[in-house]
């Protein structure tokens, strides 16, 4: 018995009451952990089964034996023998794979007279034991999470997976309060050092399991957290007094007793304050199991021993004696006996000698039977194996894992004020590649946001290597160094060399150094001198990707340290970083979309288009809720199939220029009160006074309601036509540039600059054939570009680059792309046989824009899918992006709203056609508020505020001829846009 002094103080009861209030809003448990009060039906079944059992069958129910699904026939035969000969009550599965394990479970259950209680260590999911299954974050990482409902979700998902493979007992959660940094066996398996956090998070994990039909198990009672010995290899000694045990170690266990946990596991520990007998493991201690757990804590669920194979018990007790003493101590089920036959005989001897009473035996057996009843194991129905891998490894499960990692990330400090990183503000990002790890998932994700300079670095750099690196480091650089753990299951430790620590401290004084600590937080003290440190807990691939995106503010960093490593890494330390709402990357299921539907259907649309030679290739991007979820390139740059399309390739955007450049500029000027949409055009272009354009309102021009002609074939007036042929008038063109012929139409065609005046004269003098009606016109956007340039004294391209592209970090959307990028990055547009008589590649396809030197308000912009996605994500976010408000929400709403009485047009933006008698311009599934634009070369960009959806489609359907309109006839762009909608799950 426990000494009378061992009583729970009032403050502990108050703390437990607080925990009750915290937890009481949750629903009742689906699996009843309170085994003390069976109802009539339960009692009838339990007593009926018990009364029909022999003594051997009753004793057998108290054993749970080891099982593997990867050890071959001899092992399977031995498990079958023990089921037949000893009538064991349960199995504990270890290594293997889920399909093989389920087949064996079905086989063993069929063999057993009474359904077996099948268990598994699944602390971090099936991946803890089984190949090709998911591992969730370990509990120390979960300890950093501030939203415990995520841990409930994890328990729910683990329960689903366990039930699918026939497992009904999970030996989790770990309730050890880990306060020993050198703990060799608990460590990262604990929720941390706070008894309250361990209790609350353990409760949510338990509830997720038991709400969904899996018995949870609190381990390792009475607390394995403050040990530096592994009980697998020796018997750890806990020398704390009763007051300390009472206030720390026991607190989480008592809390979960109160809230219905189904079972406990007793650790192999020696705790002299609880049992004075020398070398007596708590597993074999009646003062611990019966007096403390049963009587004091009033637990009436199942009690398991820890594995009896472990040296923590075997070192001092022989097989048989150990198992009999464990039952005598008050355990119900003996886990992994060292020798089952010897153990059964020893228990029989204890019964015969009266050491173990028939009443105690009956109580334990009936607890086991009641647990089976409540878990639905009165009978067993075999489960099918087909499709098990897909059913276990779902997208939803992977997404949950990612969300757990996102919530766990902990920004220990940011004295550099470096985060979130802004790609536009980074002169150079230097990536220190320790031990030449190569293109890790972390590196690849960083590289999606900004170009990286990778510098290999030895883990123990020599003075020469260090000095050489320091000479290249400057204050305008951001230096990122990922430091990863060994990946060991129970510690994930990181040990830095003195040389590396010294070098990092020196770099930190010269540049903005950011250290990513992918490992155990107990090792954070090594970074004490450093200014910006992010703890990521593990080097698991999803965590690497999450951490890279968090650096750029895609997600908020909100975790708190679950343990204390030192003064600069103390419990609950952490900074909540700003979320910049920069577009990020995620699997479709994370934003409510189906990857299989997206990929399959998009592939069909692309294949149809390319087989019909509607375009040689294309690039498609889908983003939802601020995350790019689908991005794929199809086909080739040309039909000769020499260069495959890449998602980063740059395309001539054609009329998408109208919204991605000109309209943005007009919106910005309007936002800054520099422009009145209802002012007549001559207000800004006074040279139009006296023309039919003078009183045209800007608002009407933007909505294509100003009566303007659609376009003017300016180039035709520069050609000399003879019979069925033509040649360019030498008055206007030269093959080489000079002071007069200095407008580059292509790389070998330069126009006389005087002809630009002729083009503007033609626009001014053009008739207005479409007054008072909608008529799509390029001419209005020639004029809008002129308005921008007149108001700002800047060319349009410079203005939008300065106010949008550059601060948004968009380097791959621009006019005249050959000034920056090689031809192999750019898709060719056409083999021109009507004007330029050459391949148009890297120069704007639109003839009028080409005659203005490649830059106009209606065409000339080139870009890739990611750059366009960022622009449209900014618009979806009402002008906000990357921590900056580029346009007011009111301005975005005004321009992306329909022009009065119009069925299709906003201001500058195209919108979904509402008139059923007219051709549909986008997916019929799009919402009425969807906006964007189509481009003549085979491009489009759309955003749907209702679904928070961005869709980008880029192609060069005009290659080799713009007369090819198969893309339009096939409705390829609307079909592809519809695929995005069909991928949205209800």
CB atoms near residue 707 (< 10 Å) = 21
CB atoms near residue 772 (< 10 Å) = 10
Place of tokens 């034991």: 129
Q: Which two tokens stand for residue 891?
A: 């301005």
Are 402 and 590 in contact, with CB atoms under 8 Å apart? yes
Closest listed residue to residue 874, CA positions, set 817, 813, 790, 935: 813
Q: Which two tokens stand for residue 312?
A: 């923590």
Q: Which two tokens stand for residue 11?
A: 């403050």
Phi first, then psi, for residue 149 (nearest 5°) are -65, -25
Bridge partners, residue 516, by sequence: 482, 534
Residue among 68, 232, 416, 636 flagged as catalytic: 232
Per-residue CA distances from 231 to 67, 94, 190, 220 (Å)? 21, 18, 16, 11
Q: What share of the chain is helix, strand, coil (3-state, %, to 5)?
A: 40, 15, 45
Residue among 226, 275, 306, 508 flagged as catalytic: 306
Are 207 and 214 in contact, with CB atoms under 8 Å apart? no
* Axis crossing angle, helix 195-210 with helix 251-258, rounded to the nearest 10: 30
Name the E strands within 525-581.
532-535
Are 511 and 469 in contact, with CB atoms under 8 Å apart? no
DSSP state of 287: I
- What is d(CA 592, CA 587) in angstroms, rounded to the nearest whole number? 9
Sign, CA dihedral 244-247-252-253, equals positive
Q: Which two tokens stand for residue 861?
A: 């912009």
Phi first, then psi, for residue 141 (nearest 5°) are -65, -40
Q: SS3 of 569, please?
A: strand
Q: From the centroid of its chain, how far is CA 645?
A: 27
Asked, as a colleague might, if the bond just before 329 is cis with ω within 30 of 0, I would say no
Name the E strands within 144-301.
169-170, 215-221, 263-266
First and final CA of the chain: distance in angstroms? 59
Place of tokens 């912009």: 861
Phi first, then psi, for residue 275 (nearest 5°) are -150, 115
Q: Which two tokens stand for residue 946?
A: 């209702």
Closest listed residue to residue 809, CA positions, set 534, 554, 623: 554
Q: Which two tokens stand for residue 186?
A: 């608990």
- What is d(CA 356, CA 920) in angstroms, rounded to the nearest whole number? 83
Residues in the chain: 986
Are 526 and 377 in contact, with CB atoms under 8 Å apart? no
* 385-399 residues labelled b (16+ CB within 10 A) or e (exposed): eeebeeebbebebeb
Q: What is the gyration radius of the CA atoms in the chain, in angstroms?
A: 36
Q: From the centroid of its chain, how far is CA 65?
A: 38
Q: Which two tokens stand for residue 642?
A: 């020499």
Are 478 and 524 in contact, with CB atoms under 8 Å apart? no
Concerning whether 232 is annotated as a catalytic residue, the answer is: yes
Q: What is the maximal distance between C-alpha atoms in the chain?
A: 121
* Helices of type H across 112-147: 139-142
- What is d(CA 579, CA 728) in angstroms, rounded to the nearest whole number? 56
Are 115 and 372 in contact, with CB atoms under 8 Å apart? yes
Catalogue the active-site residues: 232, 306
């Amino acid at each position: 018995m426990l000494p009378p002094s061992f009583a729970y103080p009032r403050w502990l009861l108050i703390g437990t009451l607080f925990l009750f209030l915290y937890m009481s809003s949750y629903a009742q448990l689906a699996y009843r952990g309170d085994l003390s009060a069976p109802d009539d039906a339960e009692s009838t079944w339990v007593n009926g089964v018990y009364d029909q059992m022999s003594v051997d069958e009753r004793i057998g129910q108290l054993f749970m034996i080891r099982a593997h699904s990867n050890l071959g026939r001899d092992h399977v035969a031995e498990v079958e023998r023990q089921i037949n000969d000893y009538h064991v009550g349960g199995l504990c599965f270890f290594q293997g794979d889920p399909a093989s394990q389920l087949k064996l479970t079905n086989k063993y259950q069929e063999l057993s007279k009474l359904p077996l209680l099948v268990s598994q260590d699944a602390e971090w999911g099936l991946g803890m034991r089984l190949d090709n299954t998911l591992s969730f974050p370990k509990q120390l990482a979960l300890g950093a999470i501030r939203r415990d409902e995520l841990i409930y979700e994890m328990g729910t998902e683990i329960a689903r997976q366990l039930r699918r493979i026939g497992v009904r007992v999970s030996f989790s959660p770990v309730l050890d309060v880990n306060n020993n940094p050198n703990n060799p066996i608990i460590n990262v398996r604990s929720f941390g050092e706070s008894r309250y956090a361990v209790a609350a998070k353990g409760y949510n994990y338990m509830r997720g399991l038991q709400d969904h039909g899996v018995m949870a198990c609190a381990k390792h009672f009475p607390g394995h957290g403050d040990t530096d010995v592994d009980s697998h290899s020796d018997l750890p000694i806990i020398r704390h007094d009763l007051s300390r045990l009472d206030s720390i170690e026991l607190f989480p266990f008592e809390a979960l007793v109160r809230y219905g946990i189904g079972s406990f596991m007793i650790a192999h520990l020696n705790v002299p304050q609880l049992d004075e007998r020398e070398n007596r493991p708590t597993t074999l201690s009646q003062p611990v199991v019966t007096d403390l757990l049963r009587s004091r804590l009033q637990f009436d669920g199942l009690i398991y021993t820890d594995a009896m194979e472990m040296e923590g018990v075997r070192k001092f007790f022989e097989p048989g004696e150990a198992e009999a003493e464990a039952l005598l101590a008050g355990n119900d089920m003996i886990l992994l006996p060292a020798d089952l036959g010897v153990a059964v005989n020893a228990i029989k001897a204890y019964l015969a000698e009266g050491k173990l009473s028939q009443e105690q035996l009956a109580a334990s057996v009936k607890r086991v039977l009641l647990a089976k009843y409540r878990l639905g194991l009165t009978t067993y129905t075999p489960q099918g194996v087909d499709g098990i891998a897909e059913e276990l490894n779902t997208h939803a499960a992977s997404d949950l894992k990612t969300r757990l990692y996102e919530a766990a990330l902990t920004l220990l400090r940011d004295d550099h004020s470096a985060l979130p990183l802004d790609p536009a503000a980074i002169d150079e990002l230097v990536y220190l590649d320790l031990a030449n790890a190569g293109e890790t998932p972390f590196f690849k994700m960083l590289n999606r946001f900004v170009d990286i300079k990778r510098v290999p670095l030895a883990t123990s750099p020599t003075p020469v290597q260090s000095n050489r690196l320091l000479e290249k480091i400057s204050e305008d650089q951001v230096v990122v160094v990922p430091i990863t753990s060994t990946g060991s299951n129970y510690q994930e430790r990181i040990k830095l060399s003195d040389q590396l620590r010294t070098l990092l401290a020196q770099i930190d004084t010269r540049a903005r150094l950011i250290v990513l600590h992918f490992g155990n937080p107990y090792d954070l003290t090594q970074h004490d001198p450093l200014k910006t440190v992010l703890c990521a807990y593990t080097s698991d691939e999803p965590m690497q990707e999450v951490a890279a995106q968090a650096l750029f503010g895609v997600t908020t960093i909100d975790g708190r340290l679950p343990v204390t490593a030192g003064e600069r890494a103390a419990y609950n330390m952490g900074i909540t970083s700003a979320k910049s709402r920069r577009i990020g990357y995620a699997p479709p299921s994370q934003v409510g979309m189906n990857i299989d539907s997206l990929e399959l259907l998009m592939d069909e649309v692309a294949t149809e288009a390319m087989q019909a030679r509607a375009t040689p290739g294309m690039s498609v991007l889908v983003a939802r809720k601020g995350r790019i979820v689908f991005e794929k390139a199809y086909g080739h740059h040309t039909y000769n199939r020499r260069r495959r399309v890449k998602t980063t390739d740059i395309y001539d955007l054609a009329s998408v220029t109208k919204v991605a450049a000109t309209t943005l500029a007009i919106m910005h000027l309007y936002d800054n009160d520099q422009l009145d949409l209802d002012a007549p055009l001559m207000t800004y272009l006074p040279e139009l006074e006296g023309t039919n354009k003078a009183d045209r309102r800007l608002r009407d021009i933007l909505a294509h309601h100003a009566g303007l002609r659609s376009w003017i074939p300016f180039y035709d007036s520069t050609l000399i036509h003879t019979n069925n042929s033509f040649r360019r008038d030498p008055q206007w063109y030269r093959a080489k540039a000079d002071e007069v012929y200095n407008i580059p139409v292509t790389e070998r065609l330069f126009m006389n600059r005087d002809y630009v005046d002729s083009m503007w004269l033609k626009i001014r003098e053009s008739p207005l054939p479409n007054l008072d009606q909608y008529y799509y016109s390029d001419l209005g956007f020639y004029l809008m570009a002129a308005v921008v340039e007149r108001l700002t004294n800047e060319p349009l391209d410079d203005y939008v680059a300065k106010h949008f592209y550059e601060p948004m970090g968009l380097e791959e959307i621009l006019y005249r792309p050959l000034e920056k990028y090689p031809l192999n990055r750019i898709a060719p547009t056409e083999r021109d046989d009507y004007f330029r008589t050459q391949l148009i590649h890297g120069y704007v396809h639109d003839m009028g824009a080409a005659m203005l030197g490649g830059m106009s308000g209606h065409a000339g912009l080139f870009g890739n899918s990611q750059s366009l996605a960022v622009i449209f994500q900014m618009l979806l976010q009402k002008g906000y992006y990357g921590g900056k408000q580029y346009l007011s929400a009111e301005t975005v709403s005004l321009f992306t709203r329909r022009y009065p009485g119009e069925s299709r047009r906003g201001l500058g933006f195209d919108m979904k056609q509402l008139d059923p008698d007219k051709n549909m311009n986008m997916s019929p599934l799009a919402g009425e508020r969807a906006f964007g634009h189509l481009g003549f070369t085979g491009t489009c960009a759309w955003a749907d505020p209702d679904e928070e959806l961005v869709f980008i489609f880029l192609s060069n359907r005009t290659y080799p001829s713009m007369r090819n309109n198969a893309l339009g006839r096939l409705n390829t762009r609307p079909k592809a846009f519809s695929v995005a909608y069909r991928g949205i799950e209800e």
